[in-house]
Amino acid sequence: MAKESVELEELREKGVVVERPFISKAPLIGPLIIWFRTAWNNVAARWYVRPLLQQQNAYNQLATTELETHLKRITEQTQQLIEQDRSQMQLVHETAELTARVRQINRHLADLEKRLTQLETPPDQTG
């Protein structure tokens, strides 16, 4: 479960979408380019992009929460299956022991019936 927890935490962290600042590697005029692109973005796109980011972040959070819920259920069901398997194996062993005991009792009963038949049969009176 520790590996899954780490993976879920990583998924949760990567599921947060944020606006990225503009960068420019142009010498001297780089800050001017950044300022212009930021200003243009504020006018042209930010009003549209922010709600999309919020919607995507909400979806990502919901998806991660659902995955976590399903992982917990799968873990619980796996434990239940392991316990059921142990119980079933115990029952198989007990059934085998009982079957062997029934066979032993049936052999003993057959011997007793044979002896009883011999005792109930009158001795041969020819002689």
Give the list of residues 6+ apart from residue 12 with CB closer than 8 angstroms, or none: 61, 64
pLDDT digits (tens, 9 = 90+) for 80-110: 999 999 999 999 999 999 999 999 999 999 9
In angstroms, the CA 60 to CA 52 distance is: 12
- Joined together, the tokens standing for residue 39 give 């200003």
User: For the chain, which residues make up each domain, given as ranges?
Assistant: 2-84
Q: Give the pLDDT band (50/70/90) at residue 61.
A: very high
Which strand (E) or helix (H) includes residue 83? helix 46-120
Whole-number average pLDDT of the chain: 90
Give the pLDDT of residue 32. Answer: 87
- Residue 25, pLDDT > 90, answer no
- Closest to 15 measured CA to CA, from 67, 59, 69: 59
